[in-house]
Amino acid sequence: MKPIKVEHPLIEHKLAILRDKKTGTKEFRELISEITLFLCYEAMKDAKLTEVEIETPVAKTKAHVIDENDYVFVPIIRAGTGMIDGIVTMIPNAKIGHIGLYRDEKTLKPVRYYYKMPKGIENKQVIVIDPMLATGGSGIDAITLLKEDGVKNIKFLSIIAAPEGLMRIEEVHPDVQVYCAAIDDHLNDVGYIVPGLGDAGDRIFGTV
């Protein structure tokens, strides 16, 4: 599937501040959460609604709700955990899984060290989250692990993506829809997105 770039003036504004090397840790974290809200909003456009009857202070009426338990959000540790606050603001009862991967600095390939999912993951809509989609290696590996667990419905949310990473995910997992706030120019010779914003994990957790 072709990636969906979520466009909005507020996203552009927040991305500009997010990218700025002068932006401090506190504001950076807040911006990650705020942009995640927009991505989650777009990714949930096809969410199934169930009709229920409620009573307002004035009268009984029909309303429509989402079954929040049908959704599992899976951050790729560690940077992906910085997006969780934005997710639970939108869907407080969503289940959260975790995948621990790190990039080998020499090979640029992902190495798995942690994997923990809620029960019944195979029957859920699973949305993988990671602020940066660079080479696509971690994203591909995370999606592969979920498919091995029987998951059939997977989406991927990323704030900034590189064309190389998007192309790789589309080639390996053509059934996975990617949502992002920006598609940058290219990867440099050490696998960083250009212009990007540096290392998202370091900036989220203040380990720059």
- Residue 75 clears pLDDT 90, i.e. is over it: yes
Q: How far apart are CA 45 and CA 137, in angstroms?
A: 27
Q: How far apart are CA 1 and CA 38, in angstroms?
A: 20
From the candidates 46, 56, 107, 189, give the one annotated as an active-site residue. Answer: 107
Q: How many CB atoms lie within 10 A of CB 97?
A: 20
> Measuring CA to CA, how many Å separate 118 from each of 13, 69, 89?
36, 11, 19
81 is catalytic: no
202 is catalytic: yes
From the candidates 19, 29, 103, 168, give the one annotated as an active-site residue. Answer: 103
Q: Tokens representing 101? A: 């991967």
Residues 23-34: pLDDT tens digits? 999 999 999 999
Residues 134-168: pLDDT tens digits? 999 999 999 999 999 999 999 999 999 999 999 99
**What's this model's pTM, rounded to 2 decimal places?**
0.93
Residue corresponding to tokens 């592969």: 144
Domains of the chain, CATH where assigned: 4-205 (3.40.50.2020)
199 is catalytic: yes
Mean pLDDT over 74-98 rounds to 95
- Residue 103 clears pLDDT 90, i.e. is over it: no
Predicted local confidence at residue 107, as pLDDT: 79
From the candidates 23, 25, 29, 199, give the one annotated as an active-site residue. Answer: 199
- Binned at pLDDT 50, 70 and 90, residue 189 comes out as very high
Q: Which of 198, 182, 158 is nearest to 74 (CA)?
A: 158
Predicted local confidence at residue 106, as pLDDT: 80
From the candidates 50, 202, 203, 207, give the one annotated as an active-site residue. Answer: 202
Report strand pairing: 125-129 vs 71-77.
parallel
